[in-house]
Amino acid sequence: MEDIFGIPAPLLFGQLLLGLINGAFYAMMSLGLAVIFGLLNIINFTHGAQFMMGAFAAWMLLEWAGLNYWWALLLVPIIVGFTGVVLERLMISRLYKLDHLYGLLLTFGLGLIIEGVFRNQFGSSGLPYRIPPELQGAWDLGFMFLPIYRGWVVIAALILCLATWLLIEKTRLGAYLRAATENAPLVQAFGVNVPRMVTLTYGFGVALAAIGGVLAAPIYSVNPQMGTNLIIVVFAVVVIGGMGSILGSIITGFGLGIVEGLTKVFYPEASATVIFVIMAIVLLARPAGLFGRA
């Protein structure tokens, strides 16, 4: 068997692929954050809790309403996105004129509360959610077994990321959104309802987190702290990619997933730390992030 840096080649390929899969989650999550920060200037620390709500909503639809995974994929973003809209209208919209820190504190606190409520209700060890029958099984790639579901996650994430990027960079709606961040009063003067657009943007960002939660439900156990582990990493991803940069967060998400995957082979003890080391280096060399505009 051929070795690369002392690691058997098949194992290394397997790890690269796994890194890509985890990167898909990072990309999807950081995309939502980047959209919200880029257009609302809010650092949405509730994102992890909203990801978790997505997974729980999928579980509830299955257990209580008998609706399967595919229905969940369709309905959960709408339901959880709607809770985001309500949250934005009732609370977050009151903070736009204040310093970033207030938004951060509010969303951070809300995240803790939501997580606590779910923990009280459902406990901490999690609930089982089965992989849908259509996506069960695995492909034998020669160097590893790739569960079909994980492959599906990568594809779904890529499609979502691409669609979001196209929506914001290439459509008229996206142009309005970008214009509104530059100069809201002027866009409003052209007859665009900016506050409503901002609210819907927040809802959209939350919906992205919720889809991430549905995709994650069959892989990780559906538990209240599932978002907490992810959110810190995802923030590092957003910072490395450049706050608010859509493309930056997508590329960085996938890239860091791979870096983390490789760390798990060469020095597993550091796999939780490596992303923050990279973040520190990037901040020193390019304070605006890899793809950010200074």
In the complex with another protein, the residue whose CB is nearer, 37 or 149, is 149
Binds another protein by CB under 8 A, chosen from 261, 279, 282, 292 = 261
Answer yes or no whether residue 68 interacts with another protein by CB under 8 A. Answer: no
How far apart CA 93 and CA 90 sit, in angstroms, is 7
Please, which of residues 162-221 interact with another protein by CB under 8 A? 219-221
Please, which of residues 219-248 interact with another protein by CB under 8 A? 219-221, 223, 225-226, 229-230
Nearest to residue 100, comparing CAs of 37, 184, 33, 35?
37
**Is the distance from CB of 227 to CB of 50 less than 8 angstroms?**
yes
In the complex with another protein, the residue whose CB is nearer, 136 or 171, is 136
* CA distance to 120, 180, 194, 197, 200, per residue, from 173 (Å): 41, 11, 12, 9, 12
Answer yes or no whether residue 63 interacts with another protein by CB under 8 A. Answer: no
Q: Is 123 left (phi over 0), alpha (psi -120 to 50) or beta?
A: left
277 residue type, one letter? V
Binds another protein by CB under 8 A, chosen from 65, 113, 138, 277 = 138
197 residue type, one letter? M
Binds another protein by CB under 8 A, chosen from 73, 75, 79, 127 = 127
In the complex with another protein, the residue whose CB is nearer, 152 or 176, is 152
H or E stretch covering 8: strand 7-8
Binds another protein by CB under 8 A, chosen from 86, 117, 119, 280 = 119
How far apart CA 235 and CA 223 sit, in angstroms, is 20
Contacts of 30 (CB under 8 A, 6+ apart): 234, 237, 238, 241, 249, 250, 252, 253
Binds another protein by CB under 8 A, chosen from 272, 286, 288, 290 = 272
The window from 48-56, 190-198, 234-242, 260-268 that contacts another protein (CB under 8 A) reads 260-268
Measured from the CB of residue 249, what is the shortest distance to another protein in angstroms? 20
**Is the distance from CB of 46 to CB of 110 less than 8 angstroms?**
yes
Binds another protein by CB under 8 A, chosen from 165, 264, 288, 290 = 264
Nearest to residue 51, comparing CAs of 210, 201, 232?
210
Answer yes or no whether residue 124 interacts with another protein by CB under 8 A. Answer: yes
Provide the binding-site residues for another protein, judged by CB under 8 A. Answer: 8, 10-11, 14-15, 18-19, 21-22, 99, 101-102, 105, 116, 119, 123-128, 131, 138, 144-145, 147, 149-150, 219-221, 223, 225-226, 229-230, 261, 264-265, 268-273
